[in-house]
Amino acid sequence: MATPPRRILLVVNPFASGVTADGLRAVEEALTRVGEVTTELTRHPGHATELCRAAGGPDVVVVFSGDGVYNEALNGVERPCPIGFVPGGGTSVLPRALGIPRDPARAAQQLAEAIEAGRTRRISLGRVNGRRFSFSAGIGLDAEAVRRLDALGRDEHGQRPGDLVFGLTLARLLARRRGRWTDELELEGFGRAAFVLVANGDPYSYAGPIPLRIAPKAEFELGLDVVAPHELRPRSLLRFLRYAVTGRGQVAADDVFYGHDLDRVVARCDRPLPLQADGEDLGDVVEAVFEVERDAVSVLV
């Protein structure tokens, strides 16, 4: 008796900066060789979560988008089916951190081979106030930069500004505060901190081709790593930038809280502060509970 074809749900964000008609055709062709593909285009925020929940039990989910829609899909996958990620955004942190090629056609071919061979990797996910995240979340500095980037809007093709604009946005934010970020929250079990960065893997993000190794000990198979500077001042900016680029120094620094392989982190803010997860603005919070979901999902590699 013949084995029925694999049912592959392909979720695509048509507004992602790296998603093109030719790229989508190449992705569909690669996946069609190993299964029966149903392509769904996202049409509004949160749509990928809805699509994954309503899919009726596909054997595999593949997402062609940027990090925001990867996050939505991970929040919608409710059964233990493998999920793969094709880089379609300006940064696409998650597939790059998993070793997936940046070219969509090559990435899709690699994922198709993984589907055929049953090649997966079990990874943990983070949760912040119940919302899953795959690689990073934060309160304060990076979340404020994400919010300001979103405020710039999208271009005529519906695409967000890229890494260069994000870097400029962060630089302007620091300049506005004259390079100072003093303690604004309490990190349970650690102490007072200026802001909090929580990583589920390494790197934390990318600046163009450069990996930002905020939490160099973080691994997808482990718990969460937390990095929380006591304060940020002009004289320490270059040092913190060196930490991020080299991945060396912050673990043992006297003015940085570093926690490794944690199950739970609680932050309480002096006032409502912005929260981000996987580069998505989640609004202001006065308390955030970060938790690990160990061995949460199988990803195609």
The answer as to whether 34 is a domain residue is: yes
The pLDDT tens digits for 212-237 are 999 999 999 999 999 999 988 888 88
Q: What is the pLDDT of residues 108-148, one digit of tens each?
A: 999 999 999 999 999 999 999 999 999 999 999 889 888 88
Specify whether 111 is located in the same domain as 167: no
Q: Is the pLDDT of residue 2 over 60?
A: no
In this structure, what CATH number is given to the domain that contains residue 201? Answer: 2.60.200.40
**What residues pair up with 291 in beta bridges, in sequence order?**
127, 264
Residue with tokens 């999920």: 83
The 10s digit of each residue's pLDDT in 12-39 is: 999 998 999 999 999 999 999 999 999 9
Boundary-marking domain end, from 118, 153, 186: 118
Helix (H, G, I), strand (E, B) or coil at 276: strand
* pLDDT > 90 fraction of the chain, expressed in percent and rounded: 74
Task: Please check whether residues 67 and 184 belong to one and the same domain.
Answer: no
How far from 103 is each of 26, 49, 95, 127, 162, CA to CA, in Å?
11, 25, 11, 29, 17
CATH classification at residue 54: 3.40.50.10330
Whether 145 and 278 map to the same domain: the answer is yes
**Nearest one of 46, 96, 41 to 75, comparing CA atoms:** 46
Each residue's pLDDT tens digit, 39-70: 999 999 999 999 998 867 789 999 999 999 99
Whether residue 111 is found in the same domain as residue 246: no
Same domain, residue pair 268 and 240: yes
Q: How many angstroms separate the CA atoms of 183 and 94, rounded?
A: 30
> What range defines the domain where residue 80 resides?
7-118
Count of the separate structural domains present in the chain: 2
- How many C-beta atoms lie closer than 10 Å to residue 263's C-beta? 11
Centroid of chain to Cα 105: 21
User: H or E segment at 21?
Assistant: helix 21-32
Residue 221 is assigned to a structural domain of this protein: yes
Whether residue 138 sits in one domain with residue 27: no
pTM for the full model? 0.91
197 domain residue, yes or no: yes
Distance of alpha carbon 202 from alpha carbon 220, whole angstroms: 8
Same domain, 186 and 264: yes
Residues 41 and 71 in one domain: yes
- The confidence band for 172, taking pLDDT boundaries of 50, 70 and 90, is confident
8-state DSSP, 232: B
123 occurs within a structural domain: no
Dump pLDDT digits (tens) for 289-298.
Answer: 999 999 999 9
Same-domain check for residues 52 and 159:
no
* Residue 240 in tokens: 């913190």
136 in the same domain as 106: no
What CA–CA distance (Å, rounded) separates 15 from 93? 17
Residue 237 lies in a domain: yes
Q: Are residues 143 and 186 in the same domain?
A: yes
The dihedral sign for the CA sequence 144, 145, 147, 148: positive
Question: Is 210 a domain residue?
Answer: yes
Boundary-marking domain end, from 118, 139, 173: 118
Are 150 and 89 contained in the same domain? no
Residue 210, strand partner residues: 207
With respect to residue 2, please indicate whether it lies within any of the assigned structural domains: no
- Range 122-144 burial, b when 16+ CB lie within 10 A, else e: ebbbbbbeebbbbbbbbbbbbbb
Residue 1 pLDDT more than 60?
no
Strands 83-87 and 60-65: parallel
25 vs 3: which has the higher pLDDT: 25
Single residue among 61, 84, 118 that ends a domain in this structure:
118
Instruction: Dig out the tokens for 163 from the structure.
Output: 């890494």
Q: Is residue 301 included in any domain, yes or no?
A: no
